[in-house]
A and B are shown apart, each in its own frame.
Chain A
Amino acid sequence: GAVVSQHPSWVICKSGTSVKIECRSLDFQATTMFWYRQFPKQSLMLMATSNEGSKATYEQGVEKDKFLINHASLTLSTLTVTSAHPEDSSFYICSARDQRLANYGYTFGSGTRLTVV
Chain B
Amino acid sequence: AQKVTQAQTEISVVEKEDVTLDCVYETRDTTYYLFWYKQPPSGELVFLIRRNSFDEQNEISGRYSWNFQKSTSSFNFTITASQVVDSAVYFCALSERGRGSTLGRLYFGRGTQLTVWP
A residues in contact (CB < 8 Å) with B: 32, 34, 41-44, 46, 49, 91, 93, 95, 97, 99, 103-106, 108-111, 113
Residues in A with CB closer than 8 Å to B45 are: 44, 93, 108
**Interchain nearest-CB distance for A81 vs B (Å):** 17
Residues in A with CB closer than 8 Å to B95 are: 105-106
Q: Determine which of B44, B47, B109, B113 lies in contact with A111 in the assembled complex, contact meaning CB atoms within 8 Å.
A: B44
In the bound assembly, the distance between CA atoms of A102 and B11 in angstroms comes to 32
| CB-CB under 8 A for A105 and B44, given A49-B105, A97-B103 | no
Bin chain B's interface residue count.
10 to 19
**Interchain nearest-CB distance for A9 vs B (Å):** 9
Inter-subunit contact A34/B50 (CB<8 Å):
no
Inter-subunit contact B102/A43 (CB<8 Å):
no
| CB-CB under 8 A for A108 and B91, given A43-B111, A99-B102 | no
Inter-subunit contact A44/B102 (CB<8 Å):
no
In the bound assembly, the distance between CA atoms of A34 and B104 in angstroms comes to 10
Inter-subunit contact B111/A104 (CB<8 Å):
no
Residues in B with CB closer than 8 Å to A42 are: 110-111
Inter-subunit contact B103/A110 (CB<8 Å):
no
Inter-subunit contact B50/A105 (CB<8 Å):
yes
Chain B, residues 105-118, CB within 8 Å of chain A (1/0): the string is: 11011110100000
